[in-house]
Amino acid sequence: MDAEHHSATPSPTPSGPGRASADDSGGAEGLDVLARELADLARALQSASSPQEVLDRAVATAVDLVPGAAEGTISLVRSRRTVTSAAATSAAARHLDELQTELGEGPCLDAVYTQRSTRVDHLARETERWPALAARADEIGLPSMLCLQLFVDGDNLGALNLLGAEPAAFGDTSEHVGLLLAAHAAVAVADARDLEHTHLGLAHRDVIGQAKGILMERHRLSADQAFALLASISQDLNRKLYDIAADLAATGELPQRPQHRPQQRPQQRPQHRSPRPGDR
């Protein structure tokens, strides 16, 4: 994919928060610093224990490293309609995603689908492309944006959005550093999702097993009876069986059934403390 970018207005020198980049920390030495920071980031992202942790670290690091960045989000767009913040460094950054969903326009809903990066120097002046969003730009309080594509999957999109506290806060250096970070973040996010898919199945099996064991010991039930009780509560509460089991395993308490129906009592209480052979 070509590294195209769109700039709404000419880009001045980067300014504002964000650590020194390759350009402003001096030639080859600056590049070495950036390379080390990227390697550190890659290791940090790989060592994160959950997709959410990966997202949180990625957006925080981007705000820290990209010149001009004051706040940021990692946004997920579904069906070119709904923009949600998967991770955000502030409520203001999150509000940008809410506004895009509410108004049905904004960079995440069009430009970032086709361009790997999109720079907005002054959101309030984007009256032609996103007139409704431009009119409410003051609600965000951060006038400039740098939007970086993480992945496009049909009508779904992932983007790293950085916000600047000053107009035209992002320059070419910001964009180069941002694109490198986005490449790392995209790999890490995809890895984390793969890993979570694999782990979730195993975790579900064990949590449901633990919940069965708790009920078997508490009410002297067989494994099948314990499972049936979980399934029955799941159905009554219209919640996933795993969620019921996870609540029980974490708190020791079963979620309450609706008031209009009395709590189902176990019907069989074997004499022995432990289930007998053949119960399972």
Partner 1 sequence: MSAEPQDPSPELRLCGLAREAVGWDRVVVVVARDVDTRAALRGSDPVLEGYCDLQQTLLQGPSLDAFTAGTPVVVDDLHARLPWPLLASVTPADLPVRSMAVVPLLVPATCSSAVTRRAAPPRPALGVLIAGRDDVDPFTPAQVAVLAHLAAVVAAVLVHRAGTGELIAVDADPNDDLAVVGGMLAEHLGASAGEALSRMRAHAFTSGRTLNELARAVLAGEVAVEDVAHPR
Alpha carbons 249 and 239: distance in angstroms, whole number: 16
Which position among 124, 132, 186, 228 is part of the footprint of partner 1 (CB under 8 A)? Answer: 186
Chain centroid to Cα 129, Å, comes to 27
Q: Closer to partner 1 at the Cβ: 33 or 165? A: 33
How does DSSP assign the chain, residue by residue? ----EEESS------SSS---TTTT-HHHHHHHHHHHHHHHHHHHHH-SSHHHHHHHHHHHHHHHSTT--EEEEEEEETTTEEEEEEESSHHHHHHHHHHHHHT-SGGGTHHHH-SEEEES-GGG-TTTSHHHHHTGGGT---EEEEEEEEEETTEEEEEEEEESSTT---HHHHHHHHHHHHHHHHHHHHHHHHHHHHHHHHHHHHHHHHHHHHHHHHT--HHHHHHHHHHHHHHHT--HHHHHHHHHHHS-PPPPPTTSPPPPPS---SSSSPPTT--
Asked whether position 164 contacts partner 1 by CB under 8 A, the answer is: no
Q: Closer to partner 1 at the Cβ: 125 or 219? A: 219
Q: Closer to partner 1 at the Cβ: 38 or 60? A: 38
Which position among 20, 92, 152, 190 is part of the footprint of partner 1 (CB under 8 A)? Answer: 190
Segment interacting with partner 1 (CB under 8 A) among 118-126, 159-167, 180-188, 233-241: 180-188
Q: Closer to partner 1 at the Cβ: 46 or 256? A: 46
Segment interacting with partner 1 (CB under 8 A) among 32-40, 122-130, 232-240, 257-265: 32-40
Contact 214, 248 (CB under 8 A): yes
Which position among 205, 235, 239, 240 is part of the footprint of partner 1 (CB under 8 A)? Answer: 205
Q: Closer to partner 1 at the Cβ: 265 or 273? A: 273
Asked whether position 45 contacts partner 1 by CB under 8 A, the answer is: yes
Asked whether position 199 contacts partner 1 by CB under 8 A, the answer is: yes
Contact 124, 146 (CB under 8 A): no
Pattern 239-278, binding to partner 1, x per CB under 8 A? ----------x--x-------------------xxxxxx-
The β-bridge relationship of strands 144-153 and 117-120 is antiparallel
Pattern 108-137, binding to partner 1, x per CB under 8 A? ------------------------------
Q: Closer to partner 1 at the Cβ: 91 or 203? A: 203
Q: Which of 251, 100, 241 is nearest to 161 (CA)?
A: 100
Which position among 65, 120, 211, 254 is part of the footprint of partner 1 (CB under 8 A)? Answer: 211
Q: Closer to partner 1 at the Cβ: 130 or 227? A: 227
Q: Closer to partner 1 at the Cβ: 35 or 135? A: 35
Interface positions with partner 1 (CB under 8 A): 35, 38-39, 42-43, 45-46, 180, 183-184, 186-187, 190-191, 194-195, 197-199, 201-218, 223, 249, 252, 272-277, 279-280
